Amino acid sequence: MSILIKNGRIITATDDYVADIFTEGETVRAIGKNLKLEAGRVIDAAGKLVFPGGIDPHVHLEMPFMGTYSSDSYETGTRAALFGGTTMVIDFILQKQGSPLRSALEEWKKRSNNNCVGDYSFHMAVTDFNDITKKEIRDLVENEGITSFKTFMAYKGALMIDDRQMIGLMEEVKKCGGLINVHATNGDMIDYLIAKHRGEGKLSPLYHYLSQPEITEAEASERFTDMTFYTGCPGYIVHLTCEGALNAVRNATRRNQKVFVETCIQYLILDASLYEKDFEGAKWVMSPPLREKKDQATLWAGINQGLVQVVATDHCPFKWEQKLLGKNDFAKIPNGHPAIENRMELLYSEGVSKGRITLNKYVEVACTNPAKIFGMFPRKGTIAVGSDADIVIFDPDEQHTLSAKTHHMNVDYSGYEGWEVTGKVKTVLLRGQVAIDDNKCLLKKGYGQFIKRNKVDNKI
Ligand code: DUC
Ligand code: ZN
Ligand code: ZN
């Protein structure tokens, strides 16, 4: 199978030019003006943007969590991602406390193998670091291509590890050439505040927000940053939401330290006023919670300052009947919201179209940096000869409206119902196959491949 994409405006993290792209098999073979090459299919991309497939490095598919499972399967989630221009996701394996990492890996493989439409990888969440777990790290990095290890400083009693375990894990991960991801919020403070609010009979979704104030994230982000400084382990803060937390990372740059920072699309464009809608606020109950308008401004600026390198989603959808598990108690509302399909279009519309970020920055934070940080560049994350032919053809002017009625995620509401968006994904290629065209998915489950990742490059 060969494809010739003609006359598109090609955007990478560094370039912006009009040319043709020739793909053969799974790979980009040639890029140039007026390519005279025979192809099985020719796509006219004149007037369109052509950029690398999006990479969302933070999603939770079919994940056992808070007494239920996130509602997108590997099939529905990766298919919805493709509709939205994301050709690869990185999902999280959760170690069960008291069990080895290997058994969690086998469980996750069972759910995902041969079930994905788009490409995927895993981070390994270490929820119980001990002498047995320690011996498993190198095997994951060298034999499984899993080079990033997630830690939770919150979710006390279920997922959280303490600082002693954190330091031990950092030393081992550094030795093996990996990276530590962290959910950086102060689990003890949050645990206390949840109990306090429940004890006072304050049970609505608003109290989810009030149980995780900015200081809980700022404090943990600083502590994590200090621990990575001490151990020298590469660190990556997932879903950073607020000014206080970003300032902890900014301060660390004064001692020439780099900690990678990911924010998520919702923290850039939604705010905590949504929790005032009584139980409807449960749609946006996620951890950390949405913040204030001033935090949105900080995060957009952080992207342009190079302090925030990645925009992901933390896609963790729950249907309305699942959210109702917490009807009478905010602490029982499954945490998470759906966005895997919306990230690329929302970031373009709110970021590029509204003049907050450049097109190159858009590609950098949504495609290229996730590939570089997580050991997949230049196979993924750019358009170059020899790279996988993961390509999005995008109409920058088409207006449309986001809705649960038209989305492809397996969830019966949208966190963005009625949002007017400028810019639409038209055609998507995944490893040289047309995945999305004319609002249809042309790939079957099982096409999506597990991508083994390389050791981590701390200098992007
Ligand atoms: N936060 C969420 O909102 N959902 C899944 C896990 C997390 O940390
Ligand atoms: Zn988290
Ligand atoms: Zn998450």
pLDDT digits (tens, 9 = 90+) for 162-221: 999 999 999 999 999 999 999 999 999 999 999 999 999 999 999 999 999 999 999 999
Residues 17, 49: Cα–Cα separation, whole Å: 10
Is residue 122 assigned to a domain?
yes
- Note the pLDDT of residue 83: 99
Residues 142, 23: Cα–Cα separation, whole Å: 31
Ligand 1 atom nearest to CA at 65: 5
Core vs surface per residue 378-397: b (16+ CB within 10 A) or e: bbbbbbeeebbbbbbbbbbe
Count of C-beta atoms within a 10 Å radius of residue 253: 13
- Note the pLDDT of residue 140: 98
- Note the pLDDT of residue 456: 77
Is residue 1 assigned to a domain?
no
Is residue 452 assigned to a domain?
no
CB-based pocket (< 6 A), ligand 1:
60, 183, 286-287, 314, 316, 335-336
Write the CATH number for 113: 3.20.20.140
Residue 322 has pLDDT above 80, yes or no: yes
Q: Label residue 380 by pLDDT band (50, 70, 90).
A: very high
Is residue 44 assigned to a domain?
no
DSSP symbol at 366: I
DSSP H stretches of helix in 309-366: 320-323, 343-347, 359-363
- Note the pLDDT of residue 425: 98
Q: Label residue 367 by pLDDT band (50, 70, 90).
A: very high
Is residue 382 assigned to a domain?
no
What rounded mean pLDDT belongs to the chain? 97
Cα 253 versus chain centre, distance: 24
- With a pLDDT cut of 90, the percent of the chain lying above it is 98
The tokens describing 250, both together, are 């900014």
Is residue 114 assigned to a domain?
yes
Residues 66, 74: Cα–Cα separation, whole Å: 19
Closest residue CA from atom 4 of ligand 1: 336
Is residue 43 assigned to a domain?
no
Count of C-beta atoms within a 10 Å radius of residue 235: 28
* pLDDT, tens digit (0-9, with 9 covering 90-100), for 383-417: 999 999 999 999 999 999 999 999 999 999 999 99
- Note the pLDDT of residue 457: 65
Closest residue CA from atom 8 of ligand 1: 287
- Note the pLDDT of residue 459: 63
Count of C-beta atoms within a 10 Å radius of residue 426: 18
- Note the pLDDT of residue 272: 98
Q: Averaged over 259-280, what is the pLDDT?
A: 97
Residues 54, 47: Cα–Cα separation, whole Å: 20
Pocket residue to mutate for ligand 1, from 92, 316, 318, 322, most atoms within 8 A of Cβ: 316
Number of independent structural domains in the chain: 1
What residue numbers bound the domain in which 314 lies? 53-373
Is residue 443 assigned to a domain?
no
